[in-house]
Chain A
Amino acid sequence: MLVELGHFCLALALSVSILQFVLPIIGIKLKSTRALATSTYSSYLFFCLVSFSFISLMWAYISSDFSVALVAQNSHSLKPLIYKVTGVWGNHEGSLMLWILVLSLYSLALSIIGKNIPLKIKSIVLSVQGLIASAFTGFILFTSNPFLRLLPPKLEGEGFNPILQDIGLAIHPPFLYLGYVGLSITFSFSIAALILKQADSIWIKWVRPWAMLSWTFLTIGIALGSWWAYRELGWGGWWFWDPVENASFMPWLAATALLHSSIVAEKRNTLKAWTILLALIAFSFSLLGTFIVRSGVLVSVHAFASDPSRGIYILLMLILFTGGSLALFAKNAPKLKSGNMFSPISREGAIVINNIIFSAAAATVLLGTLYPIFIDALTTNKVSVGPPYFESVFIPLMVPAILLCGFSPMLTWKRAVFDNMYERIIFIFIVSILITSFLIYIRNGSAMTFLGIFLSIWLFLGTIYDFFERILRGKSFNEVAKRIVSYPRSAYGMSFAHIGVSIFILGATMSTAYKTEIETSVQIGDKIIVENKELIFESIKQNQGPNWLADVATFRISHNESDISFLYPERRFYPASQINTSEPAILSRLFYDLYIVLGEKDIKNKNFAVRVYYSPLLNFIWIGIAFMAFGGILSLSDKKHRVSYKTLRKNRNLSIK
């Protein structure tokens, strides 16, 4: 009964979202403030209906109601409760439900936080949100209905891909969607600016927090997905340049460019058309990702079961939103007035270069991801574009960006005088070179490895130097303390994010370049030695999980006499789906990860295949990303954002032309 109610609410939600789209348009045509104001209530109502609908679906999962087709296909009564809940979005239909739930949440948040935004702008934004909401709700109802009943009901669910039973994977879609869908707000704001042909600096101030919020969520979401791949896939790798990974990476690159360009747009009231274009493209990349994952035009390990009719629907949505918005952009963007100019050598100038590089990088990832399709369409051949391509193209693109990032925060706004800069840049350069050459002296490695290390140090020093230079301008300790406290949160945010990038580069470089890999087969009592660490295969025992049987090995790892730890890699067998998987065990220390994978058992001589990876500084990857995300949060908490949403009360009832 609850399921039918949820279904009904979803249908109601569709009509509400259509109202949310249409009424503000009527309001503008008829100059009716009342009609405009309805958009707020529509967004409240849409949120309530979608939440209820979502909860009813979740309930069907929790109560293992196998009369619902989706639950029967994707769940299992023996699954732990947490995976029943997260299983809701582990499939195409459910993940779309999560998508619109997040969308409704954002519209609601905008309605509440944006009370002081002039009604006209706010209603146009909400109207666009309504259009997006109705398109997706319609998509769910007409092609991917999660509420369909099964007759006769199944007694037991058809299990769940065991490899998906992981907490990192289970919670990464909500973060990823909070990122993807958050970009819809910046998208809708951009549409409003294009329709009204005005984008002043207060407009940028409204948009920026949403871009920052989405970027932060995207960063966390991508990292969680990558963390899952690292712990589950069993190869010690954490990024595979798979189409689905790229689909989340492209919006991230665009959002990163957007974050930076919006600084210029806000400060100088210029680059506005470009900032708007980035906002349009960032959300379009989110939609494109949806298309790639669900239409089946590209093969991917992560792709959902595909269906051409869904592909066509998403393609139509892409045409409507991206095509429509880009056409509007072509028509109205030239009419946006630009403000003040800046010199190419200035903080703004550096941001322009950052934008060129990040856009080129996003375009390159897009090109590499779609190139197999182009070749397939234009020739009879087939090509693969894999990690070696992306690495050989992406890394050189990023090198100048990192070099720039090391000193650009020290550049002054508007027009920088390089004379003052030389001393600092040379100091940082010399110190970075010194450290790097010291490392070259004590350790072998490739040129690329040392380039990575150099860039990491360079960026770290540059960021720290900039910070201390600002803080230490104070002459007494009191003054310095005062500066530390009053230093804007957004500036702290920037420093944290940049330091995060530096830590990330170090982690990625070191863990790749100095990774040691041992592939062997062991019997009980055998010893493996990796990087001065002794691994002893002590025992093996059978174990039973809620829906699997497992061989669990015990490895005793001794670093030295006093430092001993144990690792328990598993080889699992899932009877429901007849799949064998390896559950790697990881000893994660600050300076290295030790990663053991238990492979196939050789029945004849009771040997186990084992792979051991030793990756130095691997944790720096996650720490670096955490710093970036934390930088985003710090920046969001800056009081200037609250101010820009509060000070507009007097303009609230901006008249309708």
Chain B
Amino acid sequence: MKKYYYYIPLITFILLILFFSRQLFLNKDPSHLPSVMLDESFPKLEFNQLAKYNLLTIEDIFSYDKPSLVNVWASWCVPCKIEHANLMLLKNKHSIRIYGINYKDNLKKADEILNLDGNPFYSIGVDSSGRIAINLGVYGVPETFILDRNGKIRYRHVGPILEYDIRETILPILTKLEQDD
């Protein structure tokens, strides 16, 4: 009689090992998450104004005919400070339009920081309750979305944007989006 079924445990185990190896060698961070908002239109949201800065409106986003960035930030968030200089760089050197969403912040302090370090944002919307961020599927600050010219979300960046990220992901995606259509 054939004793093929004695091999079942071994075969099951080999399959398991294949999955484990893939997970290990791809060195994926299991806590990294994709956004489900990808390829969705930027949701129709309403914001409050921050001090003297331009108010972010949904019309702004949809009337602009170039790709843009939406950055979720707060003055209390340390990585946001790291990213600030890079956002300035994107605005000044690469003339990218960046919309800011100020997340659960002390508005006075947010204003102070922009006064001190410069304002990289074309316009700013305040999300004092964190509700808007939830509508965007945001996990925390900082987080950045790349929108195409039609206002569709095309990419999501979690954590601060570093020089490396600008070079390797942000700019290539922006140029690609510009060449499309």
Contacts and interface: CB of A to CB of B under 8 A. Distances in A.
A370 B19 CA distance: 9
A330 B7 contact: yes
Interface stretch (B25-33, B53-61, B119-127, B142-150): B25-33
B9 A329 contact: yes
Contacts of B31: 299
Contacts of B95: none
B181 to A, nearest CB: 25
A528 interface: no
B10 A315 contact: no
A372 B31 CA distance: 11
Contacts of B23: 297, 373, 376-377
Interface stretch (A88-96, A320-328, A486-494): A320-328
Interface majority SS (helix, strand, loop, mixed), chain A: helix
Interface in A314-366: 315, 318-319, 322-323, 326-327, 329-330, 333-334
Interface majority SS (helix, strand, loop, mixed), chain B: helix
A482 interface: no
A110 B165 CA distance: 58
Nearest to B27: A308
Given A296-B30, A299-B31, A380-B34, A329 B21 contact: no
A291 interface: yes
B6 A333 contact: yes
Interface string A367-381: 000101110110011
A281 interface: yes
Interface string A288-327: 0001000111110000000010011001001100110011
Contact of A297 (B3, B6, B30, B33): B30
Interface string B7-51: 101100110110111111001101101100000000000000000
A273 B5 CA distance: 12
Contact of B13 (A311, A326, A370, A381): A326
Nearest to B18: A377
A646 interface: no
Nearest to A281: B9
A319 B13 CA distance: 9
Given A318-B17, A373-B19, A323 B10 contact: yes
Contacts of B22: 377
A382 interface: yes
A224 interface: no
A117 interface: no
B3 A329 contact: no
Contact of B6 (A281, A284, A330): A330
Contacts of A277: 9
A330 B30 contact: no
A373 B21 CA distance: 11
Contacts of B7: 330
A486 B133 CA distance: 71
A377 B19 contact: yes
A329 B19 contact: no
Nearest to B15: A374
Contacts of B9: 277, 280-281, 326, 329-330
A326 B16 CA distance: 13
A312 B10 CA distance: 20
A296 B14 CA distance: 20
A380 B33 CA distance: 10
B6 A376 contact: no
B10 A329 contact: yes
Interface string A121-144: 000000000000000000000000
A327 B7 CA distance: 7
B34 A382 contact: yes
Nearest to A319: B17
Contacts of A329: 6, 9-10
A318 B21 CA distance: 11
Given A330-B6, A330-B9, A291 B20 contact: yes
Contact of A326 (B3, B10, B19, B21): B10
13 contacts: A273-B6, A281-B9, A295-B20, A297-B20, A297-B30, A312-B24, A315-B17, A315-B20, A323-B17, A326-B9, A329-B9, A330-B10, A373-B20
Interface of A: 273, 277, 280-281, 284, 291, 295-299, 308, 311-312, 315, 318-319, 322-323, 326-327, 329-330, 333-334, 370, 372-374, 376-377, 380-382
Given A280-B9, A323-B13, 9 more contacts: A295-B20, A295-B24, A315-B24, A323-B14, A329-B6, A334-B3, A370-B16, A373-B19, A382-B34
